[in-house]
Amino acid sequence: MTTITALGESKHGTHNQKIDSFLKNNKFEAIFFELPNDFQLYVDVYIKDGYFPDKLESFITGAQKEGNSMREELELLFNYSKNGLVPIICIDSSKAETAEYNKKSPIGRWYLKGESRDEDMFSKVKDYIENRSGNFLLIAGINHLKDEIHFVSKKPTLSKYLRDYLGDKFKLVPL
C-alpha cells in the first residue's frame, strides 16, 4: 500500500518547526520536494558530502531575496534523510534544458511530459512510487496542493492529479 502525505507551504522556510515536528513523528520511504529537477545532483552531493554546491547555494540565496528561506528547511530534510537512507527527490520542472526536460515553458522552465509544473511534479512522483509501497512525504507550495485547478496555469493542480491517482491514500496537511 502506498500513501502520500503532502505538506502545503505558504513560503519555503516559514513552517520549519511544524515540518521538524512532523518528521520526528512519522516514518517515510522518501521525501518529494518542490525543487527544480535539474538540482537533484546538487541535493545528492549535499546529502553525501555535507555542503551546498555552488549552484544550490546560488538558488538558496536567490530564494532568500524573494522571501523564501530554504536553507534551514533543506537542512531539516537532509538531517531526516540520514545520509541518503531516505531519498530526497526533486520534483519541480527543470530550470535548465536536459535530455528529459526539453519542452520549453512560457515561464522559462523546461517541462517533462506535460504543459504545467503540476503535471511534471505528478509525473515524477508517480514514476517513483509506481513499483514501491510505503509512506511518502511531499512538500510543495500550497498553491500546487489546495485547489483542483491552479490559479495561474488554469491546469489541474498536483493535488488533483494525486487524488485522482491515489484516492484517499493522498492526504493534504496545510501548514
Q: How far is 8 from 143, CA to CA, in rounded Å?
A: 8
Termini Cα distance of the chain: 25
CA angle (160 as vertex; 158, 165 as ends), nearest 5: 95
Strands (E), 38-133: 88-92, 103-104, 110-111
CATH 3.40.50.11550: does it fit domain 2-167? yes
Can you give the pLDDT at residue 134? Answer: 96
For 76-104, write each residue's pLDDT tens digit.
888 888 766 899 999 998 888 888 888 88
For 116-163, write each residue's pLDDT tens digit.
889 999 999 999 999 999 999 999 988 889 878 877 778 899 999 999
Q: How far is 58 from 167, CA to CA, in rounded Å?
A: 38
CB 139 within 8 A of CB 13: no
The strand order across the sheet containing 88-92 reads: 88-92, 30-36, 134-141, 2-9, 170-174
Q: What are the residue boundaries of the structural domains of the chain, listed by start?
A: 2-167
Can you give the pLDDT at residue 42? Answer: 93
For 9-65, write each residue's pLDDT tens digit.
887 777 889 999 989 999 999 999 999 999 999 999 888 888 889 998 998 888 888
